[in-house]
Amino acid sequence: MDKFLSDWHLASLTTLSFFWKAFWAFALGYVISGCIQVFVTRKRMRRTMGEAGGRSVLLATFFGFISSSCSFAALAGAKALFKKGAGLIPSLAFLLSSTNLVIELGIIIAIFLGWQFIVGEYLGGLLLIAFTWLLVRLLYPAKLVEETRKRLEDGDGESEQDDPPNWKERASSLEGWRDVAASYFMEWRMVWKDVTVGFTVAGIISAFVPPAFFEALFVGAGSGEQPGFLQTLAHVFIGPVAAFFTFIGSMGNIPLAALLFSNGVSFAGIMAFIFSDLVVFPVLRMNAKFYGWKMALYILGIFLLAIVATALTMHWGFAAFDLLPDTTGASGGGQTGGSEKPEFSLDYTFWINLGFLVVSAVLGWLWWQKKRADQPEGDEGHHHGSDDRDWVETTLRVLAIIAFAWLGIGLFVG
């Protein structure tokens, strides 16, 4: 019993140390994302993009890069682009780019993994889009695409709003920065459940799960040697399967990826795991809700093939130049079973986090001002807007509440 309580305490501390390392990266990324979303509108993106062709794909990739990293926000954005006339390939390119090429994800990867994974994320993200482009060109379902577009056109419409003022005018106005603050906290609202559950699970795995489990799940992991071709291929297929059952977005999955890496999983397996944020069940279900199950399963199949091709290409490309990372080099807590105690110190992370806590407080004040200004007179304290949630969101919310209880109790036991 004492061992369990001790490991519980360690798991809670590890989760908090993971989040402490990553807080400034989340805050920086969401400030940048908020600025882009306020000063660059999707209407302008759609106006610039065509329906098909290399230029459209490049523009969609760029617009995805400067957009939100939340998978569900990216899904909604891709649907809006496709519905307003963008081709299937540019729409998928936008979706892949907005979840794999965003700035904040690269910063989180740098904190938990290392430079090879940063290169793998961005170069691999471009390869992922290229393979998706090739596969859709080869396996283009013209009739299904036509039916899907008609399905969207027959659905509820979206109102077009006028373009906002020039971005320079918005950037120099208090109202513009109030909108940035609203976007900043909306980003946190979209990801807090995934991040809470993901980081808590990572702490639990770090403290409780022995290396033998990873060696059994990922064939050849923990041997101290780079896996062979068949083992690497197995890792690439197991990575998406493991991601499928986590229900967690890419931002929450990075600490888990670091733990897998520190337990000997190959570079290809880790990249496949990270890239699989768009093949998890909640995303599949959302795509089915937007496009129907036939198109959702088609997109799932294309993405899985592209992920496998990308992960293998990156792995063997790095191997050819002797650049594969050492599997003992991750910072995710390679010592499992409670043998490593996380530490908090007055280092650069503390001071950067302190700075971004101040930034968050200022943005919180601006957001509060905006809410007061937007609230109709006589409706103080009344919550406007729909608060409907599907079962996935409800499940994540319940799990996040359980995670908070686990962390809170865990800090005082052991």
pLDDT tens track for 37-63: 677 655 665 566 655 678 888 888 888
DSSP 352: H
Packing angle between helix 348-374 and helix 174-208, nearest 10 degrees? 130
What is the b/e burial string over 379-408, where b = at least 16 CB atoms within 10 angstroms of the residue's CB? eeeeeeeeeeeeebeeebeebbeebeebbe
In the chain, % of residues over pLDDT 70: 79
- Rounded CA separation 143/21 (Å): 48
Cα dihedral 374/377/382/385 (nearest 10): -40
Residue 322: pLDDT band with limits 50, 70, 90: confident
Q: Does residue 3 register a pLDDT over 90?
A: no
Residue 387: per-residue pLDDT = 42
- Rounded CA separation 310/304 (Å): 10
- With CA atoms as reference, report the closest residue to 185 among 400, 380, 33: 33
The radius of gyration of the chain from alpha carbons, rounded to an integer in Å, stands at 22
Distances (CA, A) of 86 to 13, 45, 78, 83, 145: 47, 10, 9, 7, 12
Look-up of token digits 């129907």: 292
Within 10 Å of residue 116's Cβ, how many Cβ atoms?
Answer: 19
pLDDT one-digit tens code per residue, 65-91:
876 556 666 777 787 778 767 788 988
Residue 384: pLDDT band with limits 50, 70, 90: very low
Q: Does residue 150 register a pLDDT over 70?
A: yes
DSSP reduced 3-state for 245: coil
Residue pair 33/63 in contact (Cβ under 8 Å)? The answer is: no
Contacts 24+ apart (CB under 8 A), 46-49: 46/80, 46/81, 46/84, 46/85, 46/86, 49/81, 49/86, 49/90
Residue 339: pLDDT band with limits 50, 70, 90: very low
DSSP 29: H
Residue pair 260/272 in contact (Cβ under 8 Å)? The answer is: no
DSSP reduced 3-state for 269: helix
pLDDT, the chain, mean: 79
Residue 341: per-residue pLDDT = 55
Residue pair 68/26 in contact (Cβ under 8 Å)? The answer is: no
Say what the pTM is.
0.70
pLDDT one-digit tens code per residue, 256-273:
888 888 888 889 999 999
Residue 332: pLDDT band with limits 50, 70, 90: very low
- Rounded CA separation 108/254 (Å): 7
Helix ranges (H only) for 277-323 are: 281-291, 293-320
- Rounded CA separation 126/107 (Å): 17
Residue 48: per-residue pLDDT = 63
DSSP secondary structure letters along 167-218 = HHHHHTSHHHHHHHHHHHHHHHHHHHHHHHHHHHHHHHHHHH--HHHHHHHS
Residue 408: per-residue pLDDT = 92
SS (H, E, C) 110-162: HHHCCHHHHHHHHHHHHHHHHHHHHHHHHCCCHHHHHHHHHHHHHCCCCCCCC
